[in-house]
Amino acid sequence: MYNIKSVLLKYDQLPKRLLLLLFFVGISAYGQQDAQYTQYMYNTVSVNPGYAGSRGQMSIAALHRSQWLGLEGAPVTQTLNVHSPIGYRGMGLGISIVNDKIGPTSETNFDIDFSYTIPLSFESKLSFGLKGSVNLLDIRFSELNQFAPDQTLQQDIDNRLSPNIGAGVYYHTDRFYAGLSVPRFLETSHFEESTLSTAKEQMNFYFITGYVFELNPLLKFKPTLLSKLTQGAPLQVDVSANFMFNDKLILGAAYRWDAAVSAMTGFNISNKFLIGIAYDREVTELGSAAFNNGSFEVILRYDFISTKNNLKSPRFF
């Protein structure tokens, strides 16, 4: 998602106050945001490579997010990740693909995550993770109607490749987890500084944590928090609270500071297969717009649990 200066973009049947919002909302002139998730608690490996392999078996998850339903050109994100412990020395490996589209821009990230876990006690573990990624960027300037044509924006960008690296640390027990990470260290510029259009990837610092309270044998409560700090952008804080009934049904709510409220539900079809759904509603002026029907997200996760493990209940994180 990029901010392009000195350009007026126009889509038919859209009010002028949304011309720039449609494609580049919320980003400073020199900032880029990673894809945003409401159900981040089920998609931790996307922001912290130390999570890779921490579930104890191979796990595969697919997520789809449609943001600001009803708004043409609004963000759409798909994520697919697979991760698993490997060998017998605390190592984990993961592979992720993230496709993020907004207006005329399309980004695809291919990530490889490697983790190494050190047992601190019988119950607690500390994992260190490294992430290697490749970003492919497409921008279709030819699809834009420009009031004042900019000669620097006449040629489309096709599959511009940018490599990157990241790292994270992840501490967890059976009930508690906390992690710090920077998924991408390199601040890549996609345009020359001398042009009118500038887009630069900034480092995003993530902190994630959560705790599972067993209120009674049939009810668990899990509060979680995700915060993201990016230079030139406001601090983002997501808090959520989920209840799990009888290790099957999950109901919860979330709040993104000064941005949105969310309702979440999930169901463990078995101790291997989870489906989760979330719906967001903006608390800003954008949320009251007639064309904005909120944001929708669905995630499917499958754990390849061996019957030898004899697990009695699904993991909550």
pLDDT band at 140, cuts 50/70/90? confident
pLDDT band at 305, cuts 50/70/90? confident
The answer to which of 108-122, 128-142, 143-157, 241-255 has the lowest mean pLDDT is 143-157
The answer to which of 173-177, 251-255, 271-275, 303-307 has the lowest mean pLDDT is 303-307
User: CATH assignment of 9-309, given 2.40.160.40, 1.10.287.990, 3.40.50.300, 1.10.3720.10?
Assistant: 2.40.160.40
The answer to which of 193-197, 223-227, 237-241 has the lowest mean pLDDT is 193-197
pLDDT at residue 175 is higher than 70: yes
Res 26: pLDDT:
39
| Paired residues of 178 in beta bridges | 171, 209
Res 232: pLDDT:
80
Cα–Cα distance for residue pair 39/247, rounded to 1 Å: 18
Cα–Cα distance for residue pair 306/282, rounded to 1 Å: 42
pLDDT at residue 17 is higher than 60: no
Nearest to 226 by CA among 78, 25, 51: 51
pLDDT at residue 198 is higher than 70: no
Cα–Cα distance for residue pair 27/196, rounded to 1 Å: 16
pLDDT digits (tens, 9 = 90+) for 53-96: 999 999 999 999 999 888 888 899 999 999 999 987 899 999 99
Domain ranges of the chain: 9-309
DSSP string, 143-181: G-EESS--GGGSS-EEEEEEEEEEEEEEEE-SSEEEEEE
Res 249: pLDDT:
98
pLDDT at residue 228 is higher than 90: yes
pLDDT at residue 4 is higher than 80: no
The answer to which of 120-129, 195-204, 269-278 has the lowest mean pLDDT is 195-204
Res 7: pLDDT:
31
Most distant pair of Cα atoms in the chain: their distance? 66
How many helices (H) and strands (E) would you count in the chain?
A: 1, 17
Distances (CA, A) of 219 to 231, 273, 300, 314: 40, 19, 22, 13
Amino acid identity, position 271? N
pLDDT at residue 185 is higher than 90: yes
> CB under 8 Å, gap of 24 or more: what pairs does 255-260 form?
256/38, 256/280, 258/234, 258/283, 258/284, 259/283, 259/284, 260/287, 260/295
Mean model confidence pLDDT for the chain: 84
Burial of 66 from C-beta contacts in 10 A (0-12 / 13-18 / 19+): middle
Res 148: pLDDT:
58
pLDDT band at 126, cuts 50/70/90? very high
Res 308: pLDDT:
60
Q: pTM (2 decimals)?
A: 0.84
Res 163: pLDDT:
95
Q: Which residue has the higher pLDDT, 111 or 156?
A: 111
Res 118: pLDDT:
96
pLDDT band at 29, cuts 50/70/90? very low
pLDDT at residue 202 is higher than 70: yes
Q: Which residue has the higher pLDDT, 216 or 307?
A: 216
Q: Which residue has the higher pLDDT, 219 or 141?
A: 219
The residue-averaged pLDDT of 169-183 equals 97
Distances (CA, A) of 51 to 120, 196, 213, 223: 16, 40, 21, 18
